[in-house]
Amino acid sequence: MPQHDDHADHGFRHDFPHLLGRRRFLTVLSGLGLSATAGLPAAALDCVAIPRETAGPFPADGTNRRAGQIVDVLKQSGVLRRDITTSFGEAEGQAEGVPISLELTLQAHAGCTPLEGYAIYIWHCDAGGGYSMYNVPEANWLRGLGVADAEGKVAFDTVVPGCYPRRWPHIHFEVFESAEAAVSGARPVLISQLAFPEGQIGDIYQSDAGRYAQSIRNLAGIPLSRDSIFRDNSAAELAQQTVEVSSGAGALNGQATIPIAL
């Protein structure tokens, strides 16, 4: 199992219930001492901005090195793609894990308006906890760039990430003003991470216990409340950055809205 060392970098409007989903909306209201029929407080006039987090040690975005060489998948032809389960270009291999279709919605924090044309780069580990281009240097799977449509939506076909020691299951991402900005090395407008929901993630691992055997053991030792990245966030922030997972027709679907404080 590869060793990981992520370090933290921490820094509602009428459609708030829709953005969070009813279950998470009620959870947040409960945490604020409110009921679903109560009026939202003055502080609830915008979407909940996703907190800034560390990119971690395996971004492959041109900001770090492996074996003395700059690692930058964003410079590789083919990185703009929906299906990130396979390697592309000269890289080899396919990622192991339970398939999931992921829909991300990029929004401006103020007014909850869609960020059409913005680009998001995501990356995460496979079922065994490995990261392509680092622990698995011959591969570049589970890395991809997508551009938001008129509704701010970007879709990826990926797998459920494993759980490695000392970290809750998560997806890393960076948001850029455009795909051109992403591939040219421009500074992202947001670097952060998404968490997978408690309870559900354990059930997913158990459904494929062979490939997620180590993840099952690791998950037992790191509750979400003690994760080094997510533990400092408020209940509303954590609800916003947790992927909603549902199933249908034998497939998993994940959704998350990412409001950005521009």
pLDDT of residue 218: 97
In this prediction, residue 3 has a pLDDT band, given cuts at 50, 70 and 90, of: low
Residue 239 CB: number of other CB atoms within 10 A? 21
pLDDT for position 250: 82
Q: Tokens 């997972």 map to which residue? A: 245
Rounded (10°) CA dihedral 237, 239, 241, 247: -170
Integer Cα distance of 140 and 98 in angstroms: 18
**DSSP state, 27?**
H
pLDDT at residue 152 tops 90: yes
Whole-number Å distance between alpha carbons of 164 and 110: 35
CA nearest 156: which of 213, 209, 95, 72? 95
Q: What are 86-99's pLDDT values in tens digits? A: 999 999 999 999 99
* pTM for the predicted model, two decimal places: 0.84
| Residue of 80, 50, 71, 33 lying closest to 171 (CA atoms) | 50
Query: Residue for token digits 């339970």?
Result: 98
Segments making up each domain of the chain, as ranges? 16-260
Instruction: Please give the CATH topology (third level) of the domain spanning 16-260.
Output: Protocatechuate 3,4-Dioxygenase, subunit A (2.60.130)
